[in-house]
Structure 1
Amino acid sequence: MAPVLRSRQSLSKEKFSGYFGPLKSQVYNDAPSSRGGSHHTLRSIAWNPLGTLVATGAADKTLRVWNPEKPNVRFSTELKGHAAGIEKVAFNPVKDAELASVSNDGVVKFWDVRTKACVNEVKGLGNAHTLAWAPDGSSLLVGNRSGDLFQISPRESEIMSTHQEPVEANQMAFCWSGQKVFLPTREGKVRILSYPTLESLLHLPYAVKPGESTEFVLKGHTASCLTTELSPTGRYLATGGADSIISLFDTKDWICQRTITRMVGPVKNISFTFDGSFVVAGCEEGSGLDVTHTETGEHVHTFKTAGPCETVAWAPTRYCLAYSDLGTLRIIGLEGGDRK
């Protein structure tokens, strides 16, 4: 039997597989068959800051908040109001009960999950598909498929500012100070922008050919860069692409330290463990979730799944992984959970 870990107790790469090997995932089923089967595809999973709640957003407009300790659907909360599929959900980094959701109906909604109330909404965002909270929880960035970036506030119903990007931006990430935004693009590059001005922050230290940009960008993919994630320690920025690759950039010198190539499909999202020691990716093809040791690039464990897992999320305080599998939420690593 694997030992029970305390909150924020770390595992070595040698013990990772031994710990997770005996564990069985817990299923959180809200009867997707009655909702149209494949249309219930989970597009986004998010933990709240304390790891006591998990939110899921689905293609069939279902937005639900789960108590990880109570998998029966009657203990969950469904939040209703979006007119189209949910693209991204994220809790306020400094407020456990405030959730933001974005749908391609062009609306971002803010919810108090304790009361199920929509406390604010911002409309007119086009075919929006991505959002990221500033680390202090005071504002968000929302991106749409037309290349627009919107700065919005959870307390205001009007858009604070709009920025037009030259190409469509994908899932962005903030640095932990909130002063930089990492913006992946369909060109396979990642732009580093200041916040809130959204101006190019770094430039090349040498002359370029006439007409070429002097902006310094991260280049780690041969196809569209779909997602970025900063490790909790701030040591690495991970980028995932349609080329099935994860690139890990050292944030001190912005050199790509290693690439992870075990995925068999486009990398849709990336998640680090709370200590930054391990990383896993959600892909739209293949089966199984491969966990990699961040510092060495070694494969340490594979979670078996029934099908592709497009979205994954490690808990913020413990080794507990939430992931989608055939339209259903599963969580593995809960203390006292089922064992094989």
Structure 2
Amino acid sequence: MSAYIENIQKHFLNNNRIRDTLAHTAKVHSVAWSCDGRRLASGSFDKSVCIYSLERDRLGKENIFRGHGDSVDQLCWHPKNSDQLVTASGDKTIRIWDTRSAKSVATVNTKGENINICWSPDGTTIAVGNKEDLVTFIDARTHRSRTDEQFKYEVNEISWNNDGDLFFLTSGQGTINILSYPDLKPLHTLTAHPANCICIEFDPIGTYFATGSTDALVSLWDLSELVCVRTFSRLDWPVRTLSFSHDGQLLASASEDLVIDIAMVETGEKVAEIPCETPTFTVAWHPKKHLLAFACDDKHDRDRDSGTVKVWGFPNEP
């Protein structure tokens, strides 16, 4: 493990350049890579979705998708089809987009203002949550709602496990609620944090999941035992967003702190940190490389959002 840490620290000393791409006219809420890593997408308060292709040491802007009538709050790519992604918006719809035809292939009306969305690991189902804590499960092929589940607690983020047989929700009560899937029967309630539990992320290996909370802690959980194995406490502000690297070894966490923390999953040690000038809303590791996409609350001047998407981990200039 120490050899890995030395190697990765050395790697980031030589590869810590940040590339900025001006994409939107307002705050960027969500960034995500396609499953093959060839494209990055961002969704913004300006109602648009931007698609970029990853070139050797930069992003190239490929397309801007418009159609939502309100802020695009979260997006995710199809887990197996690198051309399809889905977006959740405050306009009470979700949209499925295809990068080949560069347009929306489906618009599904929902019952409220949507704030979180995820795709099942097998690609058949999309779950979307709204501001009223209603989660709707939508058939990804017919674009019809299968079922609605109303929760009596504040639902912050939703996700399937990697096997797709459990459905996880983080709550305003600091708990992680685990349901069986597809029958959505409550199985476990984990008391994870003393404060609001904001985000949840599963490692690609299937060993751990991590949660971030308003108590500024990240907790790492063993998925088979459902026990907390360690916490990461270097941030001082509510942890809004998390991402595991493709090898499951690194965890990026971000908040209103002016750094993004990069930690070793197995030890909690700091591997690197990325300086930011403003709070960070979203982070996403590339599915094959040590490149981290992120977006902050950047301003052009005092009152105008800049809508910049950043990627860290490119080789430094020779």
TM over 0.5: yes
Local SS of the residue matching 1:25: strand
Local SS of the residue matching 1:16: helix
Q: Do the aligned residues in 1 keep the contact of 2:53 with 2:59 (CA within 8 Å)?
A: no
Structure 1 Cα separation of the partners of residues 93 and 31 of structure 2: 18
Greater alpha carbon shift after TM alignment, 50-59 vs 60-69:
60-69
One-letter identity of the residue aligned with 1:99: L
Q: Which residue of 2 aligns with 1:329?
A: 309
Q: Which residue of 2 aligns with 1:251?
A: 223
Once the two structures are TM-superposed, the CA of residue 159 in structure 1 deviates from its matched residue by: 1.5
Q: Which residue of 2 aligns with 1:191?
A: 177
Q: Deviations over 1:273-313 (max 9, x none)?
A: 01110101131x12111111101111111112222221100
RMSD in angstroms over aligned alpha carbons?
Answer: 1.6
Query: 1:175 aligned to 2:161?
Result: yes
Query: 1:318 aligned to 2:311?
Result: no
Q: Do the aligned residues in 2 keep the contact of 1:281 with 1:311 (CA within 8 Å)?
A: no
Structure 2 Cα separation of the partners of residues 243 and 95 of structure 1: 37
Q: Do the aligned residues in 1 keep the contact of 2:207 with 2:222 (CA within 8 Å)?
A: yes
Q: Deviations over 1:151-181 (max 9, x none)?
A: 0022334321111111121112211110001
Q: Which residue of 1 aligns with 2:257?
A: 286
Alignment counterpart, residue 196 of structure 2, candidates 224, 227, 231: 224
Local SS of the residue matching 1:18: helix
Q: Which residue of 2 aligns with 1:302?
A: 273
Q: Aligned pair count?
A: 305
Local SS of the residue matching 2:69: coil
Q: State the identity %.
A: 29
Once the two structures are TM-superposed, the CA of residue 219 in structure 1 deviates from its matched residue by: 1.5
Structure 1 Cα separation of the partners of residues 229 and 277 of structure 2: 32
Once the two structures are TM-superposed, the CA of residue 186 in structure 1 deviates from its matched residue by: 0.6
Structure 2: segments with no counterpart, 5+ residues: 299-306
Once the two structures are TM-superposed, the CA of residue 338 in structure 1 deviates from its matched residue by: 4.4
Q: Which residue of 1 aligns with 2:18?
A: 25
Q: Which residue of 2 aligns with 1:67?
A: 53
Structure with higher strand content: 2
Structure 1 runs of 4+ aligned residues shifted over 3 Å read: 70-73
Q: Deviations over 1:61-113 (max 9, x none)?
A: 1210111218576x321001000001111000010000100001111000111
Query: What TM-score, normalized by structure 1, do the two folds share?
Result: 0.86
One-letter identity of the residue aligned with 1:292: A
Local SS of the residue matching 2:10: helix
Distance 1:72 1:234, change over 3 A: closer
Q: Which residue of 2 aligns with 1:238?
A: 210
Structure 1 Cα separation of the partners of residues 5 and 173 of structure 2: 34
Query: What TM-score, normalized by structure 2, do the two folds share?
Result: 0.91
Query: 1:266 aligned to 2:259?
Result: no
Alignment counterpart, residue 15 of structure 1, candidates 4, 7, 31: 7
Structure 1: segments with no counterpart, 5+ residues: 1-10, 202-215
Greater alpha carbon shift after TM alignment, 49-58 vs 169-178:
169-178
Q: Which residue of 1 aligns with 2:136?
A: 150
Q: Deviations over 1:96-142 (max 9, x none)?
A: 00010000111100011111121111102301100111001011111
Q: Which residue of 2 aligns with 1:3?
A: none
Once the two structures are TM-superposed, the CA of residue 262 in structure 1 deviates from its matched residue by: 1.1
Structure 2 Cα separation of the partners of residues 163 and 72 of structure 1: 39
One-letter identity of the residue aligned with 1:49: C
